[in-house]
Structure 1
């Protein structure tokens, strides 16, 4: 969960809204405002699936995603967001520019909460002084429609003179380094560009915009600096300013008084290549500025409908609209990012796709990318190809990337998991030789700056078989922390590497399979754990930091948990990242059977997992907890996974504006919810889906490539959720006792029927019914199979 600041690419004019739909009725259940307050940080504006242009209103409150329903003030409207990026325009109409407030502090206005309208392909809002702004989007173009308020007595029809629209060359967190703008009054066009800093990474990036205004005659225009404006000159170059004195600056245009009911429309083309390309993007995507608004809005809805069409739901009697809204809205958010920036990459020339805003893979690999694999495998293939092409041209697979910049690495090299997941699920179009080369590079070569690419500590990883506490690492440089979380993540990364290597016939895959067991080297059998009030948790055996000489360090197992202090890269860095040792103990996704045996067997494991979730140690608002909800399956208690999911849904995941327990992280929370409501949960990097009854009567997923439909159906479905436990199951009409299923379920279009009851049964509890684990692997015909 990166702490994303609202990074606004200062020059685009407005923002965008996402749209989704699977059938004609499902589109009505999408609510982009879910998670728009209380730290959900969702992007609520207009967008195409994986679209670059993302217009929305920006506020001065919770503005990581640009807009929030927290009742704060609107500071402008901008067109680029990364679950939190933008550049702003703002309307005013005070009879000229003299009384217009140009700086954020002077121009900010409250908004009417009941005026906010967000739906697939559209965002609209009315400010307290009567300004109304509607917006929609094409792939690289945002369109805004401004309606100006009447003046004088209510109902007299009078309209203020000289409406003014200003364009601010800044971003929400004021990272702009320099920028330029030119105002063409004759043609009603404003062009600009600027250099900005990424919100969770290193380096800088440039964006370009081209804004065209129609609907009223342009009377004048010019520039402004620090709340002073003039009609001459028409061009401006501005730097950041001196020390803490940040220069606010931009351009403006005034318009002839519009007739009552008339609007001014702005088309804003955006680009990462050049101003000329920004203009070309706008002209080609939106040739008729005024007339195309409703067309674009309709096309956006259609585009979302096509992307979501593989999924169909039979809700069942009594299922609430809120449950359906939470479901479809969660799916919708999985396709806002990564953003398809093919043709907008100035860093290298390539015939391969280019996706950006992997924000971050540490968040997304667990549920979002596996979800796209089943509903949009073509897009997932293009994303994987983009990751590999980034390795080809920049030398490393990214772990986090936004706005052409390298984002901070949070744990391991988790693009490896995304690639392995694509491999085991037969995603097509991938050069697997090159993919394997990229993964081996992560495992064998340490970069100089492993804070934003690759892995650090590889010398110790290879010689000591763990990442040491206070490692002596002179080969590369990064935040020398997270020795526990990096150890367990590197182990799984190497497991994923071994899977791909074995599959394509590489002899060295056994080396990485051996390294996959390195997590055991930081397990301290006699380590105890106490709560802050001194209460013994009653469990012994936890991961602990270990020095290079093999002696143990210490980190309190509850540190960095929801009961203690927050730990991140920069805030209280520790030996675990954003989660506690309690949470990371459960992160052995490839060998849960070995972990369960290590902590004392299935009964002890279940008690420990119960304590983790019931005590408040678990943070459902952060991604490492996701798999722990369903790990009861590995202990032969799948019913407890179901019970745990119902404990969190709808209590912490629901259809309210604060209906997410934490940062959505570009769709991570949405995908966790979607999987849970559908009745399956992935163990990414493996062809394993853990079975838990859907929250609906039935769900169908039609594979976009094989065109075969997989169905999960509940028998005895009960919308009051008293009957939530599987009593028996059939697969294609035949008895099925395993508590998991593989990817062929989707590609071959199987039907899984679950008969439900009110009590836990013995279904899925036998050893032979459990999901595969590495330590249970046997060799058959030279291939490892569960």
Structure 2
């Protein structure tokens, strides 16, 4: 066993101690007390049940903690995708009765039935969500892998609560989804059992094509009174089938008053068929036992989370909640759809909801490799199998559909990272390498566009002539630097597989970022403190700039697409931008494959560190986009790891905290959560390389059980200061011996040795 230790001293700029290896002391606490699924619910397995709201800007994951109305409860969601909403198919909605005991007086469409929730009624934890509508109906939900179970408790004094309505609950199922994309919907209700089932064809939220989804809803707890369908806001009692229905449409079952005021609704879902959806429900939840299902879901989450232990002595509860909630959100996506892929026959696993690998390669997949390598292995195998049957690795994929490519072919980085860190079980690395080469050499929605220019010019030009691609002629600068790093990652795999010629070729192409570096380019920005209303020279020269096909320079303001200049002008479908969701100021730092050359190019270590600090303190950087993560820690390469620790604390908890607005941007399927987790663990992975940059953890001790070896690693923060005044590592030991590097490899982590660091007053 190895130990890694750090020590801290007292002073103005102080540091923490750090240790890897010996077991963390178990604390007697319930981890669920430190998980808040509602973090970030404003501004930002298959079955994921939650309430859906009607705010078009906030409903990507279904629920939002704003003042919007609840329109229903649906069974499948993606986490924090940004952009267009996804899934939310076939929502259910309860009425305690209809005015005048006439179903024509009930509200059926999502707009008409939308209703406020009771303030303070929301409860959320792993495996459970509950909310009360202002009709006093309380709805609880829990899930298995393919089935959602709802428990609806109606007010006992329904006559008073519902304005003298007859207490006769009605539960509807709507043929709709969150983006309202359904076509060719069909639905049927069995008048004898009340079962409602159906299907529809839907559009993905960030891709091309369509997908088919099916559902099967059963009820328990009350006798059936009548059934019917609805179109628009008009119900048709006794009409029990609709085919080729266009929303708004659906079906409903009305009940006699339940004896205990509760009705349970079980909804199975399947991409395969209605029969499979019913089978999923019947086998996963045969007896409608809500507590049993909830306990099982909670147990599954506790098992996933049990690989991490911390000594949180002195750490504020809110900060602990940021940490554990980050782990929780990091494990929600990608989602295991194995057995539900109707596109091809395969014995390999199938994972979906990659939103998007451009977002997730930086920290989600490296974190899973640390905490859940078994799942990461299955995801790698799934990516390879997608290549076998679709001809390309995805950069984004959702609901069995091909997603758009945002920049480079970033599955290359995920595969390289996994290869270098020993992800091998059942992985066909020769086929994986074939997929990497396919990405590097041609284009078909996925892969890379502009490859003729890439190969002949060594960069992607502005207004590129791309005869092979159909993508947008934008993002020339950001695509160039991303392609360069993708090629570096391919070179690492080629080297490992003994493909020497390829390794040399792609390593050489990884230097192509230099073709867009314009050494005399200055940057002027809108005046900040003390210079409001003025334009000021940043004092920094040399930035990435676009080039024309003929090699002449084009121009994009280095601050363009930053919070200081036209921040929202660089989304995927916008015109006239050569960087993607960020500025040239930020992208000029993206050379993780050759930081030594970049630092020399930007004036040496001191000038580099000052420039990187300016990026963080000038409002040029938006931490809510994933490309901003690595710059927090790139001070390591200039010999200033203390500044990496400083800026980690600069953003946590100011931008990432235990509030409903406690995520800087949308969560991007857990990317923001993985950022906080890794930063607080003190291990920042440089994805695509066997490198973790070391900073002091936010705890006295963090222990992790390796899913690869079963051994335990502990990072111990010697002389830990819970006030975080001591945040600079002064010294480190590895297994009791002095350790002088500011980084460590996965070999140490997988073998679960121990590192200790001594933190104290800055000596930089």
TM over 0.5: yes
- Using the alignment, how far apart are the partners of 1:514 and 1:160 within structure 2? 76
Which one is further off, 153-162 or 261-270? 153-162
Q: TM-score, normalised by structure 1?
A: 0.89
CA, structure 1 residues 555+378, in 2 after alignment: closer, same or farther (shift >3 Å)?
A: same
Residue 36 of structure 2 corresponds to residue 31 of structure 1: yes
1:145 corresponds to which residue? 151
- Using the alignment, how far apart are the partners of 1:719 and 1:315 within structure 2? 9
- The 5 Å alignment of 1:425-464 reads 425-429=421-425, 430-447=427-444, 450=445, 453-464=446-457
CA, structure 1 residues 523+148, in 2 after alignment: closer, same or farther (shift >3 Å)?
A: same
CA, structure 1 residues 156+101, in 2 after alignment: closer, same or farther (shift >3 Å)?
A: closer
Q: Residues 178 and 195 of structure 1 are in contact (CA less than 8 Å); yes or no, is this contact kept in structure 2?
A: yes
Q: Residues 159 and 257 of structure 1 are in contact (CA less than 8 Å); yes or no, is this contact kept in structure 2?
A: no
- Using the alignment, how far apart are the partners of 1:154 and 1:732 within structure 2? 70
Which one is further off, 744-753 or 248-257? 744-753
- Using the alignment, how far apart are the partners of 1:371 and 1:741 within structure 2? 15
Shift of 1:188: 2.1
- Using the alignment, how far apart are the partners of 2:181 and 2:524 within structure 1? 43
1:392 corresponds to which residue? 388
2:470 corresponds to which residue? 477
Q: Residues 544 and 554 of structure 1 are in contact (CA less than 8 Å); yes or no, is this contact kept in structure 2?
A: yes
Residue 318 of structure 2 corresponds to residue 322 of structure 1: yes
Residue 221 of structure 2 corresponds to residue 221 of structure 1: no
Q: Residues 168 and 250 of structure 1 are in contact (CA less than 8 Å); yes or no, is this contact kept in structure 2?
A: yes
CA, structure 1 residues 121+639, in 2 after alignment: closer, same or farther (shift >3 Å)?
A: same
Shift of 1:160: 4.2
1:609 corresponds to which residue? 612
CA, structure 1 residues 663+23, in 2 after alignment: closer, same or farther (shift >3 Å)?
A: farther
- Using the alignment, how far apart are the partners of 1:445 and 1:539 within structure 2? 37
Residue 536 of structure 2 corresponds to residue 540 of structure 1: no
- Using the alignment, how far apart are the partners of 1:35 and 1:324 within structure 2? 16
Q: Residues 73 and 93 of structure 2 are in contact (CA less than 8 Å); yes or no, is this contact kept in structure 1?
A: yes
CA, structure 1 residues 273+677, in 2 after alignment: closer, same or farther (shift >3 Å)?
A: same
Shift of 1:456: 0.3
Q: Residues 140 and 282 of structure 1 are in contact (CA less than 8 Å); yes or no, is this contact kept in structure 2?
A: yes
**Counterpart secondary structure, 1:229:** strand
Which one is further off, 488-497 or 507-516? 507-516
Q: Residues 496 and 685 of structure 1 are in contact (CA less than 8 Å); yes or no, is this contact kept in structure 2?
A: yes
1:782 corresponds to which residue? none
- Segments of 5+ residues of structure 2 without an aligned counterpart are 1-25, 80-85, 527-533
CA, structure 1 residues 497+254, in 2 after alignment: closer, same or farther (shift >3 Å)?
A: same
Shift of 1:23: 8.0
**Counterpart secondary structure, 2:185:** strand
- Using the alignment, how far apart are the partners of 1:682 and 1:351 within structure 2? 32
Shift of 1:159: 9.0
1:549 corresponds to which residue? 550
Q: Deviations over 1:307-365 (max 9, x none)?
A: 1111100012x211111111101100011111100000000000000000001000000
Q: Residues 23 and 312 of structure 1 are in contact (CA less than 8 Å); yes or no, is this contact kept in structure 2?
A: no
CA, structure 1 residues 321+154, in 2 after alignment: closer, same or farther (shift >3 Å)?
A: farther
- The 5 Å alignment of 1:283-432 reads 283-289=282-288, 292-316=289-313, 318-429=314-425, 430-432=427-429
Which one is further off, 222-231 or 80-89? 80-89
- Using the alignment, how far apart are the partners of 1:621 and 1:344 within structure 2? 33
Residue 719 of structure 2 corresponds to residue 716 of structure 1: yes
1:638 corresponds to which residue? 641
**Counterpart secondary structure, 1:33:** coil
- Using the alignment, how far apart are the partners of 2:576 and 2:117 within structure 1? 39
1:664 corresponds to which residue? 667
- Using the alignment, how far apart are the partners of 1:457 and 1:385 within structure 2? 28
Q: Residues 22 and 311 of structure 1 are in contact (CA less than 8 Å); yes or no, is this contact kept in structure 2?
A: no
Q: TM-score, normalised by structure 2?
A: 0.92
Q: Residues 159 and 165 of structure 2 are in contact (CA less than 8 Å); yes or no, is this contact kept in structure 1?
A: no
Q: Residues 27 and 311 of structure 2 are in contact (CA less than 8 Å); yes or no, is this contact kept in structure 1?
A: no
CA, structure 1 residues 159+474, in 2 after alignment: closer, same or farther (shift >3 Å)?
A: same
1:675 corresponds to which residue? 678
Q: Residues 22 and 309 of structure 1 are in contact (CA less than 8 Å); yes or no, is this contact kept in structure 2?
A: no
**Counterpart secondary structure, 1:617:** coil
- Segments of 5+ residues of structure 1 without an aligned counterpart are 1-20, 40-50, 241-246, 763-786
- Using the alignment, how far apart are the partners of 2:198 and 2:587 within structure 1? 47
Shift of 1:761: 2.5
C-alpha RMSD of matched pairs (Å): 1.7
1:248 corresponds to which residue? 248
Q: Residues 362 and 399 of structure 1 are in contact (CA less than 8 Å); yes or no, is this contact kept in structure 2?
A: yes
**Counterpart secondary structure, 1:170:** coil
Shift of 1:155: 10
Q: Residues 22 and 305 of structure 1 are in contact (CA less than 8 Å); yes or no, is this contact kept in structure 2?
A: no
**Counterpart secondary structure, 1:729:** strand
2:133 corresponds to which residue? 127
Shift of 1:523: 0.3
Shift of 1:676: 0.7
Q: Deviations over 1:274-325 (max 9, x none)?
A: 1110001001111112xx2111111111101111111100012x21111111
- Using the alignment, how far apart are the partners of 1:171 and 1:300 within structure 2? 25
- Using the alignment, how far apart are the partners of 1:178 and 1:151 within structure 2? 41
- Using the alignment, how far apart are the partners of 1:715 and 1:573 within structure 2? 51
1:12 corresponds to which residue? none
1:212 corresponds to which residue? 218
CA, structure 1 residues 31+573, in 2 after alignment: closer, same or farther (shift >3 Å)?
A: farther
1:563 corresponds to which residue? 564
Shift of 1:22: 11
- Using the alignment, how far apart are the partners of 2:613 and 2:443 within structure 1? 39
Could you tell me which of 496, 509, 521 is aligned with 2:503?
509
CA, structure 1 residues 388+156, in 2 after alignment: closer, same or farther (shift >3 Å)?
A: closer
Q: Residues 112 and 127 of structure 1 are in contact (CA less than 8 Å); yes or no, is this contact kept in structure 2?
A: yes
Shift of 1:178: 2.1
